Structure 1
Amino acid sequence: MGSDVTRWGRVPESTGVHRGPAWLLLAMVLACGSAGAQDRPGPPRVGPKAPNAGMPADPAFEAAKATFEALPEADRKAIQEALVWTGDFNAVISGGFGRRTFEALNAYRARAGGAEPLDPRGRVALLAAGAAARTAARFRVAVDPGSGAVIGVPERLLAKRTTLPSGTRWQSQDGRVTLETRAYAPGAETLDTLFGKATAPLPNRKVTYKLRRPDAVVVTAETGTGRSYVRYAAGPQGVRGFLFGYDQALAPEVDRLVIAVANAFVPFPEPSARPKNTAAIRPTPDRPETGPDPAAAGAGLTVAPGRVLTASAVLDECPAPHIGSAPARKLGDDPSGLALLDAPGAPGPVRPASRVEPVGAEDNLIALAPSPDGVVAAPGTAVAGDVIAALQPGSAGAPVLDRSGHLVGLVARYPAAPRRVAGIVPPARLPLVPVRAITAFLAAHGITEPQAQRDGGPGVVVPALVAITCR
C-alpha cells in the first residue's frame, strides 16, 4: 500500500504474509465473496480437462457431503466456523460443501481420535471446541463506528483501541499485532489507486499475492519479520476495507484470527442488519453475576455430586477456596499433587473416560480451563509426561484430554511469573498429574469410574469445569 502501509502503527513496517498455498487460497476465496455451493477458491476450470476428470466419485467425499448437506444451513455454517477456530478450515463460511470442508473435517477427525464431527455427539464436541477458542479470543463481531463496516475483533489480543478519522485501529499491548479499518467517501479513493499503492515496489517488502476485481482488491505481502493482509471493497458508499499486520513469530496463533476476521468482514451491511455471533460456551456457572471478580486460583472438575477434583498446588496459597459464591472445603490431598474439595454448589459431575494407551509426542491434546469469558480450550502437545499448551494464569488443576475426550491428566501447577507475549502467555511446558494417579486418588475417596463412561470429545467435560477462586 505504498507509503500508506508503512504509516499504520508499528506493525506494518515489519509485516508480511505467509506464502503457503492455504494462505493464497484464503486470499482468493475471501476476495471473491461467497464461494457458492462448494467452497472451492476459483472459477470453474476452462480448457483441457483436469487430470481427475472422468474419475469415479470418492465414496467418502460423497457420504460426507450427503450428511453435511442434510443439516440446516445454520448448522452447516456453525460447523465451518468451528473448524476455523480449531485451525482446520481456511475458506469462506458459506454452508456449502466442497473439498476444503471435506479436508477440514478429516483433519479434525484425525486429531479427535476418529470421533465423527458430523454425528450429533461429535458435532457437539466440535462446536464446543470452536466456541471455546472463539470465547478465549474474546472475538466480538460488531459494526465499526469509524468505518461503518462489520468487523470481527479478537479483543483479548487487540486490547488497545484508537479512533481514527476514517476508521478504527486495534493493537496488541506490545504493538506487534495491528488491525485497522478504513473508509473513503465516494470519489476520495478508488480501488485502482489503492491497489497501485498496495502493490508498489518497496524495499524489503515482497508482494506474495494480489487480486484486482471490479468490486474488491486483496493484497498480501511479507517482509523479513512480518506478514500483512489488505482487503478493500467498493460500493455506493465509497470504499471500505481493513488491514491486518503482525509479527511472523506470532503466526501460529494469529493466522487463525486473520481467517476469522476476514470471514466476519461485511463492508456495506444493510442498515437494519445486526451481526449474529454463533453460540459460544456459556460462562462457567461459578462466575459471580455482580461485583468484582475474585482472584482466580485454579481450575477444578466435578467428578461426583458435590466433589471437585483439582491440583493441590491450587490450595497452597488459597486457604479459603470458593466455587462461585459458596465456600469449598478440602477433603484430602496426596503426594501426587491432587486434592478433593467438598463443594455442595458445584455443577453436575462428569467423569471422562481415562486414557489407557500411553501418550506419545504425536498425540494432540486439549487442556480445558475456565476464564472470565468462558471456557478456554488450549491445544496441547505431550512431552515426557508434561503438556505444552498456551494456558493462562489460573489454570492449575485444568483437565487435559486427548482429542476423543479421554482424560490424560491434570495440570499440576502453574508458573508464578509466566512469560507473556502481547499480553498473553504463549505455549509453555506444564507438569501433569497422570491419569493413573487420578484414578487411584479418587478410588481412595470412594469415587470409582462408572461402568458406562461418557465419551464424546472434550466438549462433554465443559459443563463440569469450575473456577476455584480465593476470597
Structure 2
Amino acid sequence: MDSRRAGQEPDRETAPRGRRTHPLLAALLLGCLTPPGPALAQDRPAPARPAQPAPRAASPARPAAPDPAFEATKAAFEALPEAERKAIQDALVWTGDFNAVVSGAFGRRTFDALSAYRTRTGGADPLDPRGRAALLAAGESAKAAARFRIAADPASGAMIGVPERLLSKRTALPSGTRWQSADGRVTLETRAFPPGTETLDSLFDQATAPLPNRKVTYKLRRPESLVVTAEAGPGLSYIRYDAGPQGVRGFLIGYDRALAAEVGRLVIAVANAFEPFPAAGASAPPKPAASGLSAAAAAPPPRAPSSTAEGAGTGLVVAPGRVLTASAVLEGCAAPRIGPSSARVLATDPAGLALLEASGIPAPARLSVRVDAPAAEETLIALAPGPDGGLAAPANAVTGGVIAPLQPGAGGAPVLDRSGHLVGLVARYPTAPRRVAGIVPPARLALVPAQAVAAFLAGQGIAEAKPRPDGGPGALAPALVAIACR
C-alpha cells in the first residue's frame, strides 16, 4: 500500500540515514522531546511536496486515491476529545501495538496500531464506545500488572513512571534515584543538576564521546533538550536530558538486548510519562513506596460525567430496566435520574446497596461475582462512566477496599479483577475530595464486597450469569450508567 496517499504520512526513519537504531528505541527519539499538543513527525500527515517535472517520454503520474479505511479511522479518532485520543494511544502502548509518542495526533502509526489491535483481538472497533472501553480496560490491566506508577521523584524533582514489578530495587543517588530489576539486567536512573553545575552541551559531549565498546546509534541536540541512544556489547541505552530554570533534569535507561521484547513497551511508557519540570501542585502526588498508590501512565483519570451534579454516582445495569448502585449515592437525593429518565428506588440493603428502576437504559451486563476476596496489593480495574462509554482506572486491593485514582461520580462504580469478575462496588465517594492541580489523586475507597452484591441480587430475583469466554473488565463497560441527583 502506498503510504503517500492523500491524508497519510510516509513511514520515516527516526534516525539519520546510514545509522542503525534499535527498533525499540527508535520510537522514543524525536517525539519524546516535543511537548504534548502538536502532531509529531512520526504520526502526522506528510507535508505537501512540490511536484517534480516528469521526463518527456513519461506519462503524467496520477494522484494516488485516498485510502477509505485510513480516512474513516482518522475521522473517528479526531472526533474524540484530545484526552481520550491520548488515552487510546497509551492503551495501545500497553497492549504492545503502538511504539510511538502519546500525542493525540493521528497518523500511520496510530492507524496501524488500531488495525493490529482489532485484528488480534477479533473484537469490536476500538474507536466505538464498547470497543474503546475494552481497549482502555486492556491497557489498564497490563499497566496494573506491571505496577506502573507515576510519582514525583524527591531526589530529582521530576515526575517519572516506574514499572515497579520489574524494577523492584530502589536506591537513592546523590542527584537522583536508581531503580533496578532483581537480576540487575534493567536499570532506570533519574538525574538532576542545579543551575550552573552542568550544561546540556557537556552532557551531550559525554554521552556521544567515542568509546572502544560503545556505538552511538542516534543523537539529537536541541536548545533545551537532548536524546542519545547507544549500544554497548549486549546492552542498549537511552538517555534524555531537559534544561529549564531549575537546572538540568533527565533519566537514563539501560537493559540487556535479550530483554528487548519484554522491556520495549516499558521504555516507551517511561519516556511518555516523564515530566522534567512538573507544574507547581502536580509535583507531589503520594509516594509509591509509602502508600502503594497506583496511577495511570499517560491516560487521564476517569472524569465525572458532565451531565451530572454533585451527589451523582455510577450504576450498573444488571437486568432489563434494573440498575445496581451503592445506597450512599442516593443519600439526600429524592429524585434520581439516569440520562433523561427518572429512576425509582426498588430496594435497598444494609450492606450499602440499592436497586433502581429506570427506562431507556442500556442492555444488562453479564455479571459474574468473584467468590474469594482479592489478595493484598492485587491489581484490579475500576470502571466509571464517561460521556461515550466506560472509562477504566487501575486499582490496588487493600483490606476492605481499594486504592484508585477515581474522580467525582465514581460512587457505586464496579471494581473487577483482571478476568472481569466483580470484586465489589465503591461504597462511597468523598463529598469534598482532595485535589492536586484540579485532579483527584489516588485515594483509598471502601468497597461493598462481591458476596454482599450476589446475595442482594439473588434476593431480588436477579441470578448471576456465567461470563462469556471473550469477557474481561471491558465486558461490563457498556452497561455502566451515570446517576444524577438534580
TM-score, normalisation: structure 1: 0.56
Letter in 2 for 1:157: L
Residue in structure 1 matched with residue 378 of structure 2 by the alignment: 373
For 1:167 and 1:140, locate their aligned partners in 2 and report how far apart those are by CA, in whole Å.
Answer: 17
For 1:448 and 1:168, locate their aligned partners in 2 and report how far apart those are by CA, in whole Å.
Answer: 48
**Residue pair 2:44, 2:108 contacting (<8 A) in 1 also:** no
Letter in 1 for 2:227: V
Identify which of 115, 132, 138 aligns with 1:123.
132
Residue in structure 2 matched with residue 224 of structure 1 by the alignment: 233
**Residue pair 1:375, 1:462 contacting (<8 A) in 2 also:** no
Residues 260-292 of structure 1: CA distance to partner in whole angstroms, max 9, x if unpaired?
0000001111112257734799xxxxxxxxxxx
Q: Displacement, 1:156?
A: 1.0
Residue in structure 1 matched with residue 3 of structure 2 by the alignment: none
Q: CA 1:455/1:90 → structure 2, altered by over 3 Å: closer, same or farther? A: same
Letter in 1 for 2:73: A
Residue in structure 2 matched with residue 113 of structure 1 by the alignment: 122
Residue in structure 1 matched with residue 334 of structure 2 by the alignment: none
Identify which of 459, 469, 473 aligns with 1:459.
473
Residue in structure 2 matched with residue 156 of structure 1 by the alignment: 165
Residue in structure 2 matched with residue 264 of structure 1 by the alignment: 273
For 1:67 and 1:46, locate their aligned partners in 2 and report how far apart those are by CA, in whole Å.
Answer: 23
Residues 187-233 of structure 1: CA distance to partner in whole angstroms, max 9, x if unpaired?
21111111111111112211111111111100011123111100001
Residue in structure 2 matched with residue 99 of structure 1 by the alignment: 108
Identify which of 19, 22, 28 aligns with 2:21.
19
Residue in structure 1 matched with residue 412 of structure 2 by the alignment: none
Give ranges in structure 1 of 5+ residues lacking alignment.
1-16, 282-346, 352-368, 377-398, 406-446, 464-471
Identify which of 262, 272, 291 aligns with 1:253.
262
For 1:199 and 1:41, locate their aligned partners in 2 and report how far apart those are by CA, in whole Å.
Answer: 28
Q: Cα RMSD over matched residues?
A: 3.7
For 1:42 and 1:209, locate their aligned partners in 2 and report how far apart those are by CA, in whole Å.
Answer: 22
Q: CA 1:21/1:210 → structure 2, altered by over 3 Å: closer, same or farther? A: same
Residue in structure 2 matched with residue 34 of structure 1 by the alignment: 36
**Residue pair 2:138, 2:474 contacting (<8 A) in 1 also:** no
Q: CA 1:42/1:69 → structure 2, altered by over 3 Å: closer, same or farther? A: closer
| Residue 134 (1) aligns with residue 143 (2) | yes
**Residue pair 1:135, 1:280 contacting (<8 A) in 2 also:** no
Identify which of 213, 218, 221 aligns with 1:209.
218
SS, match of residue 30 in structure 2: helix
**Residue pair 1:149, 1:240 contacting (<8 A) in 2 also:** yes
Q: CA 1:231/1:142 → structure 2, altered by over 3 Å: closer, same or farther? A: same
Residues 130-186 of structure 1: CA distance to partner in whole angstroms, max 9, x if unpaired?
101100111110111111111101111111111111111111111111100001111
**Residue pair 1:126, 1:459 contacting (<8 A) in 2 also:** no
Q: Displacement, 1:374?
A: 1.5
Q: Percent identity of the aligned residues?
A: 61
Q: Within 5 Å, give how 1:301-380 maps onto structure 2.
A: 348-349=367-368, 372-375=377-380
SS, match of residue 140 in structure 2: helix
Q: Displacement, 1:98?
A: 1.8
Q: Displacement, 1:37?
A: 3.6
For 1:118 and 1:219, locate their aligned partners in 2 and report how far apart those are by CA, in whole Å.
Answer: 35
Deviates more, 1:113-122 or 1:60-69: 113-122
For 1:96 and 1:22, locate their aligned partners in 2 and report how far apart those are by CA, in whole Å.
Answer: 20
For 2:261 and 2:230, locate their aligned partners in 1 and report how far apart those are by CA, in whole Å.
Answer: 17
Letter in 1 for 2:378: D
**Residue pair 1:160, 1:173 contacting (<8 A) in 2 also:** yes
For 2:47 and 2:249, locate their aligned partners in 1 and report how far apart those are by CA, in whole Å.
Answer: 31
For 1:22 and 1:59, locate their aligned partners in 2 and report how far apart those are by CA, in whole Å.
Answer: 30
Q: CA 1:462/1:258 → structure 2, altered by over 3 Å: closer, same or farther? A: farther
| Residue 57 (1) aligns with residue 66 (2) | yes
TM-score, normalisation: structure 2: 0.54
Letter in 1 for 2:28: L
SS, match of residue 368 in structure 2: coil
Q: CA 1:68/1:456 → structure 2, altered by over 3 Å: closer, same or farther? A: farther
Residue in structure 2 matched with residue 180 of structure 1 by the alignment: 189
- The one of the two structures with greater contact order (alpha-carbon pairs below 8 A, sep at least 6) is 1
**Residue pair 2:43, 2:110 contacting (<8 A) in 1 also:** no
**Residue pair 1:210, 1:218 contacting (<8 A) in 2 also:** yes
Give ranges in structure 2 of 5+ residues lacking alignment.
1-18, 55-60, 286-294, 303-365, 382-416, 421-462, 478-486
For 2:133 and 2:262, locate their aligned partners in 1 and report how far apart those are by CA, in whole Å.
Answer: 24
